[in-house]
Amino acid sequence: VMTPNPTCVSMTDSAMDAMSTMVENHYRHLPVVDENGAVVGLLDIAKCLNDAITKLERAQEKGSSSANDAVEQMAALQGAGGSQAAMLQQLLGPLMAQAFGNKSSPTLRSLLAGRPSTVVSPDTNLLETGMIMAKARKSALVVENGNLVGLFGFKDMMTRAIAKELPLDLTAVSSVMTPNPEAVSPDCTVVEALQMMHDSKFLTLPVCESYGSVVGLVDVMDLIHGCGGADGWRSIFDSAMDVSDDLSDASSVYSTGLRSVGASRSVRSKKSSIQAKTNDRPVSKLRPKKPLISSDQDSVLSVSQMLVNKRGDAALITGPKGGLVGILTDTDVTRRVVANHLDPSSTAVSKVMTPNPT
Q: Which CATH number, 3.40.50.1820, 3.90.550.10, 3.40.640.10, 3.10.580.10, labels domain 3-46+260-268+286-350?
A: 3.10.580.10
How many Cα atoms within 13 Å fall on the side-chain side of residue 113? 7
pTM as predicted: 0.74
What pLDDT sits at residue 169?
A: 98
Are 1 and 300 spatial neighbours (Cβ–Cβ below 8 Å)?
yes
What pLDDT sits at residue 243?
A: 62
What pLDDT sits at residue 229?
A: 55
Q: How far is CA 304 from the centre of its chain?
A: 18
108-225 topology per CATH: CBS-domain (3.10.580)
Q: Let me know the angle formed at the C-alpha of 11 by 5 and 15, rounded to the nearest 5 degrees.
A: 95
Where does the chain hold its CATH 3.10.580.10 domain(s)?
Answer: 3-46+260-268+286-350, 108-225
Whole-number Å distance between alpha carbons of 2 and 314:
10
Backbone angles phi, psi at 314, to 5 degrees: -155, 140
Q: Distance of CA 140 to CAs 33, 116, 219, 308, Å? A: 34, 12, 12, 20
Q: Which helix (H) or strand (E) holds 9?
A: strand 9-10
Query: Are β-strands 9-10 and 29-33 bridged in parallel, bridged antiparallel, or unpaired?
Result: parallel
Per-residue pLDDT tens listing for the chain (358 residues):
566 566 788 888 988 888 888 888 888 888 998 877 778 899 998 888 878 777 776 766 665 455 455 555 545 544 444 443 344 344 445 443 332 333 456 789 988 987 777 999 999 999 999 999 999 999 999 999 999 999 999 999 999 999 999 999 999 999 999 999 999 999 998 878 887 887 888 889 999 998 888 999 999 888 887 765 556 667 677 767 766 444 343 333 333 333 344 444 444 443 344 444 445 688 888 889 999 999 999 999 999 999 999 999 899 988 888 778 888 999 999 999 999 999 999 999 987 663 333 3
Residue 357's contacts (CB-CB under 8 Å, 6 or more residues apart) are: 3, 4
